[in-house]
Amino acid sequence: MALSTEETGRLVALLGAQADRVTSRWTEIVTSSLRGRLSQAELRRQVQDLHSAIITTGEQGDFDLSADNAAELRAALSELSRGRARQGFSATETSISVFALKDVLAELVQESDGKGALHDYVAFAKLVDEMGLFTFDSFVRTRESLIADQAEQLLELSTPVVKLWEGVVAVPLVGTLDSARAQVVMERLLQTLVDTSSPYAIIDITGVPAVDTQVAQHILKTVVAARLMGADCIISGIRPQIAQTIVALGIEFGDIATKASLADALRHVLRLTGVETARRQPRRDA
């Protein structure tokens, strides 16, 4: 969808002739729609950027949003929607910054009242629609990448692997273990075993709300993989109701050591590695 050379010329003339008035009116409409959530000065700057990008595009050739001469305009629109998406504005609030131009154009065309005014307005309005849709698209893209980033961060946050003792690492699992998370946890744990040269890992499931066959599968696979690498895993933090589910579902943990608490698991590992104090101390206290 492109404007003809004549239409482009008239658009540039229309917007260029009264540049100040156009941007002021445009800013006014946008400001009222956003109800003061962005400062007038900031909005005016954005509107001026768009305005000058439109003029530049028109001066360099026929107006076509997908053509080379519109690169600057596309960049300006993308930047606008990226900014709005990051600041938490809705899609409507974002695209209205572009659609406001239609109102301005309507007023200008009406004033000029020349021959073919209606024809011009329809052509210009189509162009503004196209710009609006472009804005909308890049708004959605930005939001999607924001969501993906956040999901990744959440994944990172929720799966720490900590070193408990020389040669002992622990991974406290918190929250629901879906397949993607289980995979991340598994890889992170195994990599930490290599990096720290730790032959023991404790998988603590105190914070896991429910254990079903799938979660159990993931844990079992991790344990088997760790064994292949030369490390042993202990599962701790099995709450009573989880123990019941495990038995009810017929999940076999085989010869994998399971302990009620992280402390028990650590004590078990320390005993295996021959650390004496860990074994005697609690008995004397008891």
The residues binding other proteins (CB under 8 A) are: 180, 183, 186-187, 190-191, 193-194, 197-199, 221, 224-232, 255, 272
| Of residues 61 and 199, the one with the C-beta less far from other proteins | 199
Q: How far apart are CA 198 and CA 34, in angstroms?
A: 56
Which helix (H) or strand (E) segment is 168 a member of?
Answer: strand 168-174
| Residues in contact with 129: Cβ distance below 8 Å, sequence separation at least 6, in sequence order | 99
Nearest approach in angstroms of CB 202 to other proteins is 14
Query: How many residues appear in the chain?
Result: 286
| Of residues 190 and 203, the one with the C-beta less far from other proteins | 190
| Of residues 85 and 193, the one with the C-beta less far from other proteins | 193
**Residue 203 · residue 222 · CB < 8 Å:** yes
Q: How far apart are CA 71 and CA 65, in angstroms?
A: 8
Nearest approach in angstroms of CB 232 to other proteins is 5
Helices (H) and strands (E) counted in the chain, each on its own, are 11, 5
| Of residues 59 and 195, the one with the C-beta less far from other proteins | 195
Nearest approach in angstroms of CB 182 to other proteins is 11
Nearest approach in angstroms of CB 149 to other proteins is 15
Q: How far apart are CA 280 and CA 195, in angstroms?
A: 31
| Of residues 160 and 230, the one with the C-beta less far from other proteins | 230
